[in-house]
Structure 1
Amino acid sequence: MYRFKGFDSAECGDSMSALEAIVNAWMEGEHPRIRHVCQSMRGEHILLTFVYEDTKQLEQRVSSHAQTGVTGGYQRFFDEDLSDDRPTSPRIPATPPPMH
């Protein structure tokens, strides 16, 4: 799920180092997977906005799938092909067709 986060330099007295510290603390604490960032001006203030994926939420999904034994949806199809007694799958040729 995508989320939105905004930072306004007015919140830190327009200090660039304070704004950096706030943004860095958020990044270190949340570990967001940033998909889009935008910097714009609001009067004399800098606005930084981020669209991101919450990696903690992604990790929880992966961990819950691992605990329930759910793997990638395609894995069972590949397993079935491998356990097939036929020497090759009719859908995928063993050798590529000749180049003309």
Structure 2
Amino acid sequence: MYRYKGFDSAQCGDSISALEAAINAWMEAERPRIRHVCQSVLNNHILLSFVYEEMSELEQRLPAQAQTQAGSARSRFLDEDCSEGPPTNPQLPIIPPVVH
């Protein structure tokens, strides 16, 4: 599940080094997998927004997904119909199958 974390330079006395230290401390403590970062300005303050996943949640989810995907790939392969569908390029002519 994605989570949101925001940092406001106003909370750090508008000190860039203090803001950087707060962000680094959060990153070291939480070890987030960051998916999106946004920097914006509000008045004279810098706002940094992070959308992230918690690594502990991600590590728990990955083994379960790998097992599910492996099982579904096998069943798709075994259940797959070998008939061809329509061509993906509409400019290609449809050639009827050869009848023996």
Range into which the TM-score falls when normalised by the shorter chain: 0.5 to 0.7
* Cα distance per residue 1:56-98 (max 9 Å; x no partner): 11123346x4xxxx824325729x98xxxxxxxxx7xxxxxxx
Output one character per residue of 1:25-48: Cα deviation in whole Å (capped at 9) or x when no partner.
011111111111011011110000
How does 1:1-100 map onto structure 2 within 5 Å?
Answer: 1-62=1-62, 65=64, 71-75=67-71, 77=74
> Can you give the 5+ residue segments of structure 1 that lack an aligned partner in the other structure?
82-90, 92-100
Letter in 1 for 2:34: I
Which residue pairs with 2:86 in the alignment?
none
Q: How many residues align?
A: 78
Letter of the 1:24 partner, please give it: N
Whether contact under 8 Å (1:30, 1:56) holds in the other structure is: no
Q: Tell me the amino acid that sits aligned with residue 43 of structure 1.
A: N
Gaps of 5+ in 2: 83-100
**2:93 corresponds to which residue?**
none
The residue type equivalent to 1:29 in the other structure is A
RMSD (Å), alpha carbons:
2.5
In 1, the alpha carbon distance for the partners of 2:50 and 2:25 equals 14
- The structural deviation recorded for 1:15 is 0.4
Q: If the length of structure 1 is used for normalisation, what is the TM-score?
A: 0.65
